[in-house]
Structure 1
């Protein structure tokens, strides 16, 4: 934004200091003059016979004192304002570096807490978050490019083989191309959902999480039966405030992830089969959705990275049900877009427990009524 040039803050502060000092000097000298005008003290060194003589004797001294105060105010104000505004110069320099892409620079203003230190610390925190977000976006762009390039490269290879081998079975080629194309479409749709959730461009309305759980369980029950996973649902009515399509996507992703990343057979320790449990509940002003499953034992470091795009808890095997590596990343984005919290906890016997906590619809309505 273009602005007309004006006085610097330092010059304004200098003039303000000098003006205040001059005002204080004028008031002080004025009080002294009034006192001398109406009460001549006999102990004065200079004998004053009249008020005109008083002006003649003390006038030059008064002017000299005011001139000294003016110079002192300007010089002292310039020095003091410079010292006070020095932290702003450091913050401004850090801002300039940030605008040129240097997000690693920090102000790190020394000294005890004051308003400037608070501003500098807040600015450093903002830079740290921007740097982390920028690094995450760079990783995401690189991973997305790789994931999108893979099905395209496979399609190109299949077409090249078919062109050089006219006797090859076209039905098999079509089936493989269809599978590769389906995976590319799934990945593209997942990226669109992730972008929509990050933008927060959706209408909020009361949504019962228990109904979403029933719908997701009904949709994914054939997959659970195919993989030998017992799928169970329980809980109470849990009205949350948000987007019904996005929250359904969140629930479906969680249940699908719990089914796919599960035991491939009976538990070697307990003998129990693979299991997925989905539970809804209501907390103080919140709606809770919990999904837990059996599976391999996971370390806390691995669990912390599962919500990153294109991260999987097991090896990257591309099957028809392996997903595109964005399931939990989409869950995290949808949860944050709804002002909720996502908690991932490894189970002691293996597997994962995921809890989504969202603002309850009833509390939101009450807050609006109070406002």
Structure 2
């Protein structure tokens, strides 16, 4: 917002220090003056005797001395106090505001787009250092967020370009070979087009989740599990995977569509990334005092914890444990994590000791109605 020019904070502090010294000096001189007054004077009549005696002991003398000698000396002392207050105040204000200058400079650098700069203010903790540490933490989060968005944009561009390149290659082959089976070409183009549509819809869902553009409603996660498992049961049977559910009513607050998408993604991933024969998936919901938990576990190969920690990265599919069919677009767990965060929840991934993955989503528990 536009502001009119004003005094700097350093000048304000300097004047404040000097003013304080002047007031303190004036009070001291007034006290000395009172001690030299006649005890019956109107100026001191209502001042307690103990106070007058105390000042009198500190500054002995009489009224004539004050008029002839003390008053000029007091004026000189006040002038000296003013000069000392201005010089000392300017110096002290500069020392005190030095950290603020570094913070301002870091803000200007960040405003140019450079987020790698840090203040790193040394010294013991105080208000300025707490502000500097909070600013450094904010810059670190912003830098990580920008880097993540840049990686996401690059990966999304690559993923969207892949089906377009395949489509172009298929059309080039068909143009050079007019006698090629048109049915096979149509089938392959259809598969590539479906993949491109799925990827686009996943990106749109991810954007919608980040914006939290939904109206919160009370949702029972156990019903979401029931609907998701019923929808994915044919896929599980085709893959030779057994689905087992053990759910209790788990009331949460959020978007039914997004929470259904979250549940469906988890169950779908558990089915696809499983053993090639006799795989199993366990889906449970639990209620705790402050939150509800959706747990999805599956059998599979033993997973490296380092790999598990990266599975929520967009477009990372964990290729060494992914089947060639129904592999998805690499946004399943990324979407789950964003949906959980949009509902003020958390997503936790952990490898199972016997192989496979354990995924837990924790959401705030809905308050009872009525």
TM-score by length of 1: 0.91
CA separation of 1:30 and 1:315: change in aligned 2, threshold 3 A: same
- Distance in 1, matches of 2:304 and 2:60, equals 93
Q: Secondary structure at the match of 2:152?
A: helix
- Distance in 1, matches of 2:319 and 2:170, equals 28
Q: Is residue 346 of structure 1 aligned with residue 351 of structure 2?
A: yes
Q: Is residue 332 of structure 1 aligned with residue 341 of structure 2?
A: no
Structure 1 regions of 5+ residues with no counterpart? 266-272, 367-371
Count of residues in correspondence between the two structures: 356
Q: Is residue 197 of structure 1 aligned with residue 209 of structure 2?
A: yes
Q: Is residue 362 of structure 1 aligned with residue 367 of structure 2?
A: yes
TM-score by length of 2: 0.91
Is contact 1:261-1:313 (8 Å) kept? Answer: no
* 1:269 alignment partner in structure 2: none
CA separation of 1:220 and 1:208: change in aligned 2, threshold 3 A: same
In the TM superposition, 1:1-371 aligns within 5 A as 1-38=1-38, 54-265=66-277, 273-315=278-320, 319-362=324-367
- Distance in 2, matches of 1:128 and 1:307, equals 20
- Give CA deviations for 1:254-288 in whole Å, capped at 9, x if unaligned: 000000000112xxxxxxx2001100110112111
Q: Secondary structure at the match of 1:321?
A: coil
| CA deviation after TM superposition for structure 1 residue 317, in Å | 6.7
- Distance in 1, matches of 2:88 and 2:247, equals 72
- The ranges of structure 1 where at least 4 consecutive aligned residues each deviate by more than 4 angstroms after the TM superposition are 39-48, 316-320
- Distance in 2, matches of 1:58 and 1:277, equals 94
Output the aligned Cα RMSD: 2.3
Q: Secondary structure at the match of 2:36?
A: helix
CA separation of 1:336 and 1:46: change in aligned 2, threshold 3 A: closer
* 1:270 alignment partner in structure 2: none
CA separation of 1:72 and 1:296: change in aligned 2, threshold 3 A: same
Q: Secondary structure at the match of 1:119?
A: helix
Is contact 1:140-1:309 (8 Å) kept? Answer: yes
- Distance in 1, matches of 2:57 and 2:112, equals 71
- Distance in 2, matches of 1:326 and 1:12, equals 56
- Distance in 1, matches of 2:61 and 2:259, equals 94
CA separation of 1:199 and 1:45: change in aligned 2, threshold 3 A: closer
Structure 2 regions of 5+ residues with no counterpart? 40-51
| CA deviation after TM superposition for structure 1 residue 56, in Å | 3.8
- Distance in 1, matches of 2:290 and 2:352, equals 27
Is contact 2:316-2:330 (8 Å) kept? Answer: yes
Is contact 1:261-1:314 (8 Å) kept? Answer: no
CA separation of 1:45 and 1:17: change in aligned 2, threshold 3 A: closer
Is contact 1:291-1:353 (8 Å) kept? Answer: yes
| CA deviation after TM superposition for structure 1 residue 350, in Å | 0.6
